[in-house]
Structure 1
């Protein structure tokens, strides 16, 4: 029963458990939507089911958090099930705080963006990524790449540099893997008119790659021009 459990991160496991206990999704939908794994109509979902069964989560618990308070369940549960419920509670609290911060609903726009769940995780990154991809219509801001697994929530001021800007949507741009890497390494930035501004490291080949690229604006939360200026001065000169 533990053939698959160790293949997934703690965050992936918590997403599976949330989808079952709170959202009431089927094993097959969880396996397809949450884990991104094949889940055929006949027999699909057994990997998601194994994860749930490992934590003693069976069919009678599907959607239970729609009607039962998680604190009540924690108080009246035991063993590995209560342990995962405690971790899920912390995960849901952080997830909620991150969503409020991204939408500017917290007083200072600052939340604890790291949580210890066996290993330190950047709990807000996935939430911010989902938001950024949505406002850029799931397309790179500089090209036609529209495959989610090739798109990056690219920070203007890096995550590690400034905690206060981590979940600021104006500090992020949706870029494909190539343009994200070029931006991150300082080969280019964007000027106050959101036009390509080459960095000193950009040679003729890089210039050709970026030639005629035009920035496609998101539906809201345009990149902060001051942050773009900081990016250029810090990484492109």
Structure 2
């Protein structure tokens, strides 16, 4: 007889999305967010919390710190995790669509996106918003909503910065290993190649470009962070390959 209690794809996507959006310590059955989502997907809060915690057993950063979830991993859990690692952009869009459809989550408003002009452009814009929303939530959670360099806290002041730029890699657009949590000023400077990171995750500043920066406060800020260590995230440590790409293709020494 076929089992009727198997998790659907939508349910698994929302459980993984939950895991990426919440600190590990908040993945428990008494969390109001888990209680509400469990009701919407027809699972108990305990079952949803356990399913989300299962992904900790597949997360190498948590494993290295000795943090593990429950041991009852299913093949479906492993498959959705591998899909996240190999096709984060596609999975992110699908997970956010499921959150909108099932949980009534609104697409994040991204003011820097141009308005759609036709059906195809509209679909592209919606997908971009979904992927950006997924990426931002995962990166900010990874860095406990603090700038990885300055320590500034508060989601409204922070940006999920792509190490390999959005335009350079579709595959890395939603990958939190390709992300840094930076305050708005440092995000802009990072995107412009005014600073990067060395192999030890310490800040290196472009001396050539900084001489051409007219803003004295920005110059001072960059001078102050030179040599500073990046705060090591609780999970999804920056991918060394992405760091090397930024240093070689974006940073201008």
TM range (shorter): 0.5 to 0.7
| Partner residue, 1:219 | 234
Which digits, 9 at most, give the CA deviation of each residue in 1:145-184, with x for residues without a partner?
A: 1110111110001112110111211110111101111111
| Partner residue, 1:202 | 210
Which digits, 9 at most, give the CA deviation of each residue in 1:181-232, with x for residues without a partner?
A: 1111000101110001122313364642424633111011111112111111
DSSP-derived class of the 2:161 partner? strand
Report the alpha carbon displacement of residue 65 of structure 1 after superposing the two structures with TM: 5.5
DSSP-derived class of the 2:168 partner? coil
For structure 2, the residue ranges without an aligned partner over 5 or more in a row are 1-37, 43-77, 98-119, 212-218
Whether the 8 Å CA contact 1:140–1:175 is kept in 2: the answer is: yes
Higher relative contact order (CA 8 A, sep 6+): 2
Which has the larger Rg? 1
For structure 1, the residue ranges without an aligned partner over 5 or more in a row are 1-62, 68-99
Pairing partner for 1:228 from 222, 228, 243: 243
Which digits, 9 at most, give the CA deviation of each residue in 1:66-111, with x for residues without a partner?
A: 56xxxxxxxxxxxxxxxxxxxxxxxxxxxxxxxx999544473254
Listed as ranges, the matches of 1:13-92 within 5 Å are none
User: How many residues end up aligned between the 2 structures?
Assistant: 144
| Partner residue, 1:108 | 86
In structure 2, the CA distance between the partners of 1:213 and 1:103, relative to structure 1 (3 Å rule), is: farther
Scaled by the length of structure 2, the TM-score of the pair is 0.49
